């Protein structure tokens, strides 16, 4: 393993600013807002702040706040953050996996809460050792030479945790792609994975809907797919045209990414800037632009198709203890009825109905997210000497 630091140069930033300044922004043919895609007024404000207000050196310092490394696994460089928790955190290693169009930065607001809970009113004995990798083809991880999806990623993560970092067993958490990767860890690596926690209940069964609540949920899921999932069809089956369109176009990449943050977050209490800090959104986009990984990240969808089988055959269950954090504002993947999850979970030992929050749970509601992961962790991997330590 090799230590790693983010090191952007002034020349790289100058080049980026020039491309942003030269990027036109189209006005909608009628009206405005987000109904036709990324809002032009918001994108213009986003671009101007990115050029003149965004402190890229502060962002680089933020990204370098925690120890990070590159490990080569099966010939592919994997970038990961490794934060050793206080107390007996080494007895409770936890791998956190992000999704698309997110990145490791999704978890920055929960790292301290999970690794050093005593700083936030919790107990040191509840701390986790945290491992936060970048998915293959994302950020500072290497770009696969062949389609790579969640099942292959789960195998990489298991090697990282057990062979590279030396943990005999561990816990896993994820949302979006991270949820599917984490589900694959629970299904295929149960000998080393002690428990999994999902904020998107991606473990699904091919069994027909069994109750009125399940049928109503299936209708909502179908509607969400029709309205919000056109992007995934392109990225799964015809990614190259999007790749060509986005080449050397950081603002276009940002627009494609920002639309997802707007559409999938819980905006019940305000607009996108009331949920996400503008600097945080830009830093997330920078992890695509500065690493030239927008194209390789969307290829992950094609890798998912190549692996096949999203839903499990009827009757097949995941034996690994499962926890669910149900965030009600996830527009892309509405929370299923508990009965639906029980079809695929042999041990659904934790379920939390959250008061708010959407698809990007750790980023939108870091306090709620961290508290639930700590609660689940205490159940699935009790601390030494009892929970009162």
Euclidean distance between CA atoms 61 and 300, whole angstroms: 28
Per-residue pLDDT at 382:
81
Q: What is the tens place of the pLDDT at every residue in 9-21? A: 999 999 999 999 9
Euclidean distance between CA atoms 385 and 389, whole angstroms: 7
Q: Are 224 and 334 in contact (CB under 8 A)?
A: yes
Residue spans of alpha helices (H) in the chain: 10-21, 40-52, 56-63, 108-115, 150-159, 177-188, 212-228, 230-237, 239-246, 250-264, 272-275, 278-289, 294-307, 338-342, 361-364, 366-380
Per-residue pLDDT at 308:
86
Q: What is the tens place of the pLDDT at every residue in 211-233? A: 999 999 999 999 999 999 999 99
Residue 88 pLDDT level (bands cut at 50, 70, 90):
confident
Q: Are 327 and 266 in contact (CB under 8 A)?
A: yes
Nearest to 356 by CA among 267, 264, 253, 289: 267
Euclidean distance between CA atoms 128 and 276, whole angstroms: 26
Q: What is the tens place of the pLDDT at every residue in 174-217? A: 999 999 999 999 999 999 999 999 999 999 999 999 999 999 99
Mean confidence (pLDDT) of the chain? 95
Per-residue pLDDT at 388:
28
Q: C-alpha angle 263/79/84, rounded to 5°? A: 100
Q: What is the tens place of the pLDDT at every residue in 373-385? A: 999 999 998 865 4
Per-residue pLDDT at 43:
97
Per-residue pLDDT at 31:
82
Query: Which 3 state secondary structure label does DSSP give 18?
Result: helix
Q: Which residues does residue 131 pair with via DSSP β-bridges, in sequence order? A: 82, 95
Residue 135 structure tokens: 């998915």
For the chain, the helix, strand and coil percentages under 3-state DSSP, each to the nearest 5: 45, 15, 40
Q: What is the tens place of the pLDDT at every residue in 114-169? A: 999 999 999 999 999 999 999 999 999 999 999 899 999 999 999 999 999 999 99
Q: What structural domains does the chain harbor?
A: 2-24+37-380 (3.40.50.1820)
Other CB atoms within 10 Å distance of the CB of residue 122? 16
Q: What is the tens place of the pLDDT at every residue in 296-328? A: 999 999 999 999 878 999 999 999 999 999 999
Per-residue pLDDT at 389:
24
Per-residue pLDDT at 386:
36
Under 8 Å CB-to-CB from 145, ≥6 apart: which residues?
Answer: none
């Amino acid at each position: 393993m090799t230590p790693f630091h983010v090191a952007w140069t002034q020349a790289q930033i100058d080049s980026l600013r020039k491309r942003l300044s030269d990027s036109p922004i189209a006005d909608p043919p009628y009206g405005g807002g987000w109904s036709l895609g990324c809002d032009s007024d918001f994108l213009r404000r986003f671009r101007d702040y990115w050029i003149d207000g965004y402190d890229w050196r502060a962002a680089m310092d933020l990204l370098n706040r925690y120890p990070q490394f590159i490990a080569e696994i099966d010939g592919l460089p994997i970038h990961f953050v490794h934060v050793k928790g206080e107390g007996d955190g080494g007895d409770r290693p936890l791998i956190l996996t992000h999704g698309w169009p997110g990145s490791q930065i999704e978890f920055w607001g929960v790292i301290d809460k999970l690794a050093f809970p005593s700083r936030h009113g919790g107990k040191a004995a509840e701390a986790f050792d945290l491992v936060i990798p970048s998915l293959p083809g994302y950020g500072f991880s290497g770009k696969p030479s062949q389609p790579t999806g969640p099942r292959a990623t789960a195998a990489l993560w298991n090697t990282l945790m057990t062979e590279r970092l030396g943990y005999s067993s561990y816990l896993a958490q994820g949302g979006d792609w991270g949820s599917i990767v984490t589900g694959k860890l629970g299904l295929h690596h149960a000998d080393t994975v002690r428990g999994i926690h999902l904020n998107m209940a991606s473990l699904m069964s091919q069994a027909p809907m069994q109750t009125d609540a399940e049928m109503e949920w299936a209708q909502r899921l179908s509607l969400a797919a029709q309205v919000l999932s056109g992007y995934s069809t392109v990225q799964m089956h015809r990614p190259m045209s999007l790749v060509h369109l986005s080449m050397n176009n950081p603002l276009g990449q940002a627009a494609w990414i920002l639309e997802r943050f707007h559409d999938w977050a819980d905006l019940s209490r305000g607009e996108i800037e009331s949920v996400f800090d503008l600097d945080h959104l830009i830093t997330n986009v920078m992890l695509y632009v500065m690493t030239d990984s927008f194209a390789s990240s969307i290829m992950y969808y094609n890798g998912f198709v190549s692996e096949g089988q999203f839903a499990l055959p009827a009757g097949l269950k995941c034996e690994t203890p499962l926890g669910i954090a149900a965030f009600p504002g996830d527009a892309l993947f509405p929370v299923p009825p508990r009965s639906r999850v029980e079809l695929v979970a042999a041990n659904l030992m934790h379920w939390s109905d959250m008061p708010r929050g959407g698809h990007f749970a750790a980023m939108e509601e870091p306090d709620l997210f961290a508290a639930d992961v700590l609660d689940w962790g205490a159940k699935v991997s009790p601390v030494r000497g009892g929970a009162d330590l």
